[in-house]
Amino acid sequence: MPSPPLVIGTHNAKKGAELADALAPHGVRVQTLADLPDAIEVVEDGQTFADNARLKAVQQARRLGQWVLADDSGIQVDALKGEPGVYSARFAGPDCDDEANNRLLLEKLSGLPPQKRGAQYYCHVTLADPAGEIRGEATGVCRGVIVDPPRGANGFGYDPLFEIRELHRTFGELGPAVKKAISHRSRAMRAILPVVVRELRG
């Protein structure tokens, strides 16, 4: 008997592709919200990444009557006491784009030496069953440093600014295979993967 499909709780095509790629080898069929016209827009008004991931997973699962895996992720900059955090996607305002967010972040860090530009990408993932009950959660973190000017055209969000110290490359310069191995989202996915496979495949 085939396992039920898993809905990835995002409209972000690149993010959905990253998550679907991690699940494909395990025979888990994946859909995104773009495939489901009945999906709702969840208000992400939580105070933490975990709050928002839970809101998205639980509310979509209840709405759709399907298994939903939702994540909330962003960047936390040490010198800004963890900002932009849950506001990463709208750091420069509700209708801003990646370029505006990156520009504001660099403005706020202007003049700081490299050793004070530490940051981390953080991801929290939540799995909810079709009744909206939380069945698993995991987190992933990737440490780096914010560089200026931006480098690389790969990825999205703050990737051109986020350098992995050991590699001397930003996420924007890394190929998808390397990013997949070390990213916060991939680490969170690897942590929750056994739960997803167990719950959906029985």
Q: Which of 21, 45, 72, 78 is catalytic?
A: 72
User: What domain range is 23 assigned to?
Assistant: 6-201
Q: Is residue 37 part of a domain?
A: yes
pLDDT tens for 50-59 read 999 999 999 9
pLDDT tens for 124-147 read 999 999 999 999 999 999 999 999
Q: Is residue 165 part of a domain?
A: yes
Has 14 been labeled as part of a binding site? yes
- Total tally of structural domains belonging to the chain: 1
pLDDT tens for 79-120 read 999 999 999 999 999 999 999 999 999 999 999 999 999 999
Q: What predicted TM-score, i.e. pTM, was given to this entire model? A: 0.91
Q: Is residue 30 part of a domain?
A: yes
User: What local confidence, expressed as pLDDT, does residue 47 receive?
Assistant: 96
- Token couple for 196: 């997803």
Q: Is residue 56 part of a domain?
A: yes
Q: Is residue 1 part of a domain?
A: no
By percentage, how much of the chain surpasses pLDDT 90? 72
pLDDT tens for 24-74 read 888 888 888 988 889 989 999 999 999 999 999 999 999 999 999 999 999
Q: Is residue 32 part of a domain?
A: yes
User: What local confidence, expressed as pLDDT, does residue 70 receive?
Assistant: 94
User: What local confidence, expressed as pLDDT, does residue 1 receive?
Assistant: 59
Has 26 been labeled as part of a binding site? no
Spatial strand order in the sheet of 67-77: 30-32, 6-8, 67-77, 118-128, 134-146, 162-164, 169-170
Q: Is the pLDDT of residue 175 over 80?
A: yes
95 included as an active-site residue: no
Has 101 been labeled as part of a binding site? no
CATH for 115 = 3.90.950.10
Q: Is residue 114 part of a domain?
A: yes
Q: Is the pLDDT of residue 2 over 80?
A: no
Mean pLDDT of the chain: 92
- Token couple for 158: 């703050």
Q: Is residue 105 part of a domain?
A: yes
For residues 73 and 124, give the distance between their C-alpha atoms in angstroms, rounded to a whole number.
6
